[in-house]
Chain A
């Protein structure tokens, strides 16, 4: 057994929590959210930890921990090796853990919080973003909004969709729009241009829906479906609501790679 232990960190509330004394080299893994990054960075500073960053893979090679992550906007991958002490990392999806600890952090100074008029989760902090492209119409964008509401996610849009007036510019994701790092990005009715993908964190999982089986988005998505979004989105909404409501579920269809 490797002597490294990998512990997931969850928020422990607003009271500062000192780290316990670990009797072996320890990697603390924080969720790749704004809060997780803030807590991870503060923990690294306070404890002299090595910083692995937002890792995409993790292996234990004997006494050494090896992690990979993307740099240069996802165009380069680096492998980092750490042999001892304490290390911190952030992840979109938790790896196999040896345990979990809670760490608190005071919100100091505490900001003033004002509810937004639209009450919708901000693109910047959403765990799921549903991105619409020019393959959609207004009704399909409305469906995306409903699915996002059900999931507690946010709706983004490609530049062509914004240009068509299907979404406001504040929802534009991409090189000339916002940069988002959700756990999952559902790309609907868009081809997946490099300019749009530049606005999505390289560790974000992509799922795609497009009528064109040759669309380049399918080359970078981990899962997808070829279908007309206007037909499928209402069914996706029903299925999401059914799953969230623990209703009887329709079995997922056959998959192919």
Chain B
């Protein structure tokens, strides 16, 4: 099986981030790490290779020179073909999908995180699948690899299992069952010397979207005035229940 892993990388959440002028926070090389979703996608590819020795894994890491360190970290999982791809407008999920599409080649299985980097909230993977005219299977949690490959996700009250029988784009979410392994030290050492290529691409046609502004938020969530339910316990419970039932409908 020919697998392509698309790795986005994110700014390490342990460090503060701030807009750079009117633009997005700078992607600094030594603060760029694999996201939990990147790690899960990578681990699924590795498990398929463990089970099927003829599997070949390629990886593309989003970014320019700042992403080379991250690309070496991916190479350390004994992945020989790792390249970088600079994204022209990371804030534009459509532009990101359009930039990735020409670089995907003929992989049987394209694996990527459920959210592709800091600026995606889940639309890049299905859009990429649409651009490539491939099937899409989102939020994968588990892989079962033997003679064949099956991907599983939990949906509502059931498990959905997809047998990978033809080219598929699968987005992967983090799950305790697919924690990324540690690379072998000898491979880490070899990765330091590895040649990291760069994918060049033609500018994708624009879709009329502009970045009108970037601002910092105080934390991972915006602070707000909390509406407190006072009164008797019954009244408090009734107020909370109203919100819960409204959201469930």
Contact surface of A with B, Cβ cutoff 8 Å: 32, 34, 37-46, 48-54, 66, 69-85, 87-88, 90, 108-109, 111-116, 119-125, 127-128, 147, 151-153, 169-170, 172, 175, 177-179, 181, 183-184, 186, 194, 197-198, 200-203, 205-209, 218-227, 231-232, 235-236, 238-240, 242-244, 249-257
Partner of A83, one of B208, B239, B244: B208
Partner of A76, one of B19, B125, B159, B221: B19
CA–CA, A222 and B222, complex, Å: 10
Q: Given the known A-B contacts A225-B239, A255-B239, are A128 and B247 also in contact in the complex, defined by CB atoms under 8 Å?
A: yes
Q: Given the known A-B contacts A37-B123, A74-B217, A178-B175, are A111 and B241 also in contact in the complex, defined by CB atoms under 8 Å?
A: no
From residue 84 to 112 of chain B, which have CB atoms closer than 8 A to chain A? Answer: 91-94, 97
B214 within 8 A of A: yes
B136 touches A81 (CB 8 A): no
Q: In angstroms, how far is the closest chain A Cβ from the Cβ of B244? A: 6
Closest B residue to A89 by CB, please name it. B123
Q: In angstroms, how far is the closest chain B Cβ from the Cβ of A64? A: 9
Closest B residue to A202 by CB, please name it. B221
What 5 A-B pairs have minimum CB-CB distances, sorted nearest first?
Answer: A253-B231, A45-B130, A253-B235, A41-B126, A239-B241
CA–CA, A40 and B156, complex, Å: 20
A116 touches B158 (CB 8 A): yes
Q: Given the known A-B contacts A124-B139, A236-B244, are A79 and B213 also in contact in the complex, defined by CB atoms under 8 Å?
A: yes
CA–CA, A110 and B158, complex, Å: 14
For the A-B complex with A41-B128, A50-B92 known, give 20 more contacts whose Cβ atoms are closer than 8 Å. Answer: A37-B126, A39-B126, A46-B130, A51-B92, A74-B221, A75-B217, A78-B213, A109-B166, A115-B159, A121-B157, A122-B154, A122-B156, A124-B153, A152-B248, A186-B240, A200-B221, A223-B240, A251-B235, A252-B238, A254-B230
Majority SS of interface residues in chain A? mixed
CA–CA, A232 and B231, complex, Å: 12
B157 touches A41 (CB 8 A): no
A194 touches B220 (CB 8 A): yes
B153 touches A225 (CB 8 A): no
B236 within 8 A of A: yes
A239 touches B162 (CB 8 A): no
Partner of B130, one of A42, A53, A127: A42
B54 within 8 A of A: no
CA–CA, A119 and B217, complex, Å: 39
Interface size class for chain B?
35 or more
Q: Given the known A-B contacts A76-B25, A231-B233, are A51 and B130 also in contact in the complex, defined by CB atoms under 8 Å?
A: no
Q: Given the known A-B contacts A37-B122, A76-B19, A90-B122, are A253 and B239 also in contact in the complex, defined by CB atoms under 8 Å?
A: yes
B247 touches A183 (CB 8 A): yes
CA–CA, A127 and B118, complex, Å: 23
Q: In angstroms, how far is the closest chain A Cβ from the Cβ of B110? A: 14
B240 touches A209 (CB 8 A): yes
Q: Which residues of B are found within 8 Å of A73, using beta-carbon distances?
A: 10, 13, 118, 220
Partner of A252, one of B11, B166, B229: B229
Q: Which residues of A are found within 8 Å of B222, using beta-carbon distances?
A: 74, 202, 220
Q: Given the known A-B contacts A52-B209, A66-B212, A73-B118, are A251 and B238 also in contact in the complex, defined by CB atoms under 8 Å?
A: yes
B161 within 8 A of A: yes
Can you name 26 A-B pairs with beta carbons within 8 Å?
A32-B122, A38-B126, A44-B97, A45-B126, A50-B207, A73-B10, A74-B217, A75-B216, A78-B214, A79-B212, A79-B214, A82-B208, A83-B210, A114-B161, A115-B158, A124-B173, A125-B155, A147-B244, A220-B223, A223-B240, A227-B233, A235-B236, A250-B234, A251-B238, A252-B242, A256-B230
Q: Which residues of A are found within 8 Å of B205, using beta-carbon distances?
A: 48
B147 within 8 A of A: no
CA–CA, A105 and B113, complex, Å: 22
B210 touches A235 (CB 8 A): no
Q: Given the known A-B contacts A79-B212, A170-B176, are A54 and B94 also in contact in the complex, defined by CB atoms under 8 Å?
A: no
CA–CA, A222 and B228, complex, Å: 9
Q: Given the known A-B contacts A41-B129, A82-B210, A254-B230, are A175 and B244 also in contact in the complex, defined by CB atoms under 8 Å?
A: no
